[in-house]
Amino acid sequence: MRFFRSSFPSGGRYAGHWLGDNLAAWGDLLVSVVGIQEFSIFGIPYVGADICGFRGDTTEELCLRWHQLGAFYTFSRNHNDIGQIRQDPAAWPTVADATRQVYLFRYRYLPYLYTLHYLAATSGSTVVRPVFFEFPNDDAARENNEQFMWGDAMLIAPVLREQWEVVYAYLPREATWYSLRDTDYGVKAGPGFTFLNAPLDQLPPVLIRGGYIIPRQAPELTTMASRKNPLELVIAVNENYEASGSLFWDDGESPVTANCCNTYQFDLRINSSSTVLTVTAFSAGLKVPALNIIDIFGYDRVPNFESAVVNGASYSLSRCASYDATRQIVSINCPNLLDISNVGGSISWSNGPPVITTPTGEPQTTTTSPVRQTTSSTTRSSSAAVTTPETPATTSGGMKIASSLMSALLLNSIAAVLLYHII
C-alpha cells in the first residue's frame, strides 16, 4: 500500500493520500469532511485524515466521534505525534465500544465499498462524493459540507460538534431515505432538513437511498474470513418501487486484470401483483458465496411467500422469510437461496393487498395472506450474529421530539436576547 501527503490531481492512480498533520481539535474534525471530498474530486479515491488528530492531546469525546467519522474515510487510520497522550480506541472503554461498533459496520459493507473502488479505477467515478454530485440541482445539497456519500446509494451524516447528540441533517427531497443503523433499521427519514438522533453509544446516522441495492456480508476477524460468508442484499425501493445495484468480485489476492473477475447487476421490480429480483452476471468464473439474505425496505404490499419461484422452480419462502407490516420490511434468510457464481438468477413471488396504516399507526390489510408477519424488523447474518433491533428510539417520532426540543431552545434564546435589549 502506498500513500502520500504531497500529491496532485490524478495521483490516485498510483497511491492514496492522507490529509497531513492535523490538530486534535473539533475544527479539524469538521475540515476533514471537506478534505476527503475534495481529494476524491481530484481523482484520489483512497484518502483520509489522522483519526483523533496528530498534534495536541485529544479528548475522549473527540476521539470517539472521530472514529465514528473515520470509519467512513476510505483510508482509515488513527495516528498521532510523539509525546501526545494515548489515543488508540482502547484508551477509553467508551471509545473502544464505539469504534468496534462502527468498524463492524464498515466491514459488513466492504463488498459495496470494494465495488465502488473498482468503479473508480475503471470508470473514474468517486467513492466518497459530495451530496450535490448526486443532486446537482438541489441548492441545499450544494451548500452542505458536513455530510457525504459512499457512491450513489449511502449517505453519512456524522456528529461534528462537541456535546451534540443530534445531527441537523439535510436529506435531499428528490429521494427516499431509510436508516441502516440497527437501532432504527429500515425506518424512513426526512426528506429535507431534519434532526437525527446520534447518541455517543450509537452509530452516526447512515442512510440508504431509495432506488438502490447494496451488497454486504457478515463481518469476521479478517476480510479473508468475511469473504466466505453468504452474500446479503439490502434493498431500498424508490417511489416507482424499483431498485438496482452492482457487485464486483475478485479472488481477494491477485492483481485485477481484464476479465479476471465477476461483475453482477441486481434489479428489483415491484408492482401490484408481483415482485421480481433479477441477478445478471456480466462476467463470471470465480466461485462466489451463495445469496442467502435479502432485506427490502419500503415494501407496502403483503407478499405471498408460498408463491415464490427461484430460477424457474417453485420455492416456499414462508419457512425462512417474514414481513414486518409496521416498518414495511421484507426479510429473507434462506440457506443457499441463490447461487450466482456463473449465471446469475432470479427470485419472484406474488403480492397481496396493500398495507393500510390506521390513525393509530397500526398496519391493516383487507384480506389475509399466507405470510408470516412480524411487528419488528430483524437483521440476520449466517456466521456473525447480528442482534434483532427493538422498536427504535430514532423513529420519526423521535426526530420530531428532537426537533421540538431544538426549536424550544432557539425560541428561549431569542426571547432572552430580546429581553436583554429591552432592559
Residue 364 pLDDT greater than 80, yes or no: no
CATH number assigned to the domain with residue range 221-374, chosen from the 4 options 3.10.129.10, 3.10.350.10, 2.60.40.1180, 3.40.640.10? 2.60.40.1180
- Tell me the C-alpha distance between 245 and 233, whole Å: 9
Read off the pLDDT of each residue in 336-342 and give the average, rounded to a whole number.
92
Report the Cα 320 to chain-centroid distance in Å: 25
Read off the pLDDT of each residue in 199-210 and give the average, rounded to a whole number.
98
Read off the pLDDT of each residue in 64-93 and give the average, rounded to a whole number.
94
Cis amide bond preceding 191, omega within 30: yes
Domain 130-209+395-407: give its CATH architecture: Sandwich (2.60)
Read off the pLDDT of each residue in 250-255 and give the average, rounded to a whole number.
91
What are the tens digits of pLDDT across the range 222-238?
A: 999 999 999 999 999 99
Tell which wins on pLDDT, 373 or 330: 330
Residue 391 pLDDT greater than 50, yes or no: no
Query: What are all long-range contacts of 96-104, with beta carbons under 8 Å and residues at least 24 apart?
Result: 97/201, 98/64, 98/67, 98/68, 98/200, 98/201, 99/64, 99/67, 99/71, 101/202, 101/203, 102/67, 102/68, 102/71, 102/203, 102/204, 103/67, 103/71, 104/219
* Band of residue 360 on the pLDDT scale cut at 50, 70, 90: low
Q: By the 8 A CB rule, do 36 and 73 touch? A: yes
Give the closest residue to 346 by CA, choosing from 246, 247, 263, 277. Answer: 277
- Tell me the C-alpha distance between 297 and 187, whole Å: 8
What does DSSP assign to residue 320? Answer: T
Read off the pLDDT of each residue in 356-374 and give the average, rounded to a whole number.
53
Record the cell numbers describing residue 57, joined without a space.
492531546
Q: Is 404 exposed, middle or buried, given 0-12, 13-18 or 19+ CB atoms closer than 10 A?
A: exposed
* Band of residue 165 on the pLDDT scale cut at 50, 70, 90: very high
What are the tens digits of pLDDT across the range 82-119?
A: 989 998 999 999 999 999 999 999 999 999 999 999 99
Q: By the 8 A CB rule, do 210 and 177 touch? A: yes
- Tell me the C-alpha distance between 50 and 70, whole Å: 8
Q: What is the reported pLDDT for 10?
A: 77
Q: What is the reported pLDDT for 80?
A: 83
Those residues with Cβ within 8 angstroms of residue 107's Cβ, 6 or more apart along the chain or in another chain? 219, 220, 223, 226
Domains 130-209+395-407 and 221-374 share a fold: yes
Q: Where are the domains of the chain?
A: 3-104, 130-209+395-407, 221-374
What are the tens digits of pLDDT across the range 298-325?
A: 999 999 999 999 999 999 999 999 999 9
Read off the pLDDT of each residue in 373-402 and give the average, rounded to a whole number.
36
